[in-house]
Amino acid sequence: MTTKNNRKLTKIIPLAFGLVAIIAGMSVVPSLGQQEATAAINCPSGGGACYGTSGNDTIYGSANRDIILAGAGDDTIFGNGGDDNIYGEAGKDTISGGAGNDNLYHSGSASGSDGFADSLDGDSGSDTCHWNSSDGDTMANCTSIPW
């Protein structure tokens, strides 16, 4: 009787572990997917340097002066208040300066084309958009400077 029950258990236990592993696997897979999706980044409330990741980010500047470097990826960046310097760096970026006198840069350096059509919007204030004509960058609400 005891032997018979033990035999049943040896069959049931691996099956139970298998089910637990499947359920655990199901819950793990979506969370890994979320890590690969767009990350939301809030810059430090006091302003200063603020960095995106190498992936696609949505970055929110503080009410103060932010220096935002978005990293590679197709980033969406909101400078919000303060006189911000925003660098889209590589990737097709959408940048809005928000209030304040902002400097928006389609790329990370003044080497010309980054190969992506970035969208720069100075929003309110006296803003400057640093763009590249061969990339097909678009601009609004800003003075344009080739960069």
Considering only residues 88 through 107, tell me which ones interact with Ca ion, judged by CB under 5 A: 88, 93, 97-98, 100, 102, 106
The beta strand positions in 24-110, using DSSP E, are 39-42, 48-51, 57-60, 66-69, 76-78, 85-87, 94-96, 103-105
- According to the binding rule CB under 5 A, does residue 116 interact with Ca ion? yes
- According to the binding rule CB under 5 A, does residue 75 interact with Ca ion? yes
Shortest Å distance, C-beta 65 to Ca ion: 8
Residues in the chain: 147
Shortest Å distance, C-beta 34 to Ca ion: 16
Binding mask 28-57 for Ca ion (x = CB under 5 A): ------------------------x----x
**Cβ nearer to Ca ion, comparing 106 with 130:** 106
- According to the binding rule CB under 5 A, does residue 73 interact with Ca ion? yes
- According to the binding rule CB under 5 A, does residue 127 interact with Ca ion? no
**Cβ nearer to Ca ion, comparing 47 with 88:** 88
**Distance of CA 95 to CAs 2, 58, 72, Å?**
71, 10, 14
Question: Could you tell me how many residues of this chain bind Ca ion (CB under 5 A)?
Answer: 18
- What H or E segment, with its residue span, contains residue 146? strand 143-146
- According to the binding rule CB under 5 A, does residue 87 interact with Ca ion? no
Cα distance between residue 144 and residue 68, in whole Å: 19
| SS3 annotation, 33-52 | HHHHCCEEEECCCCCEEEEC
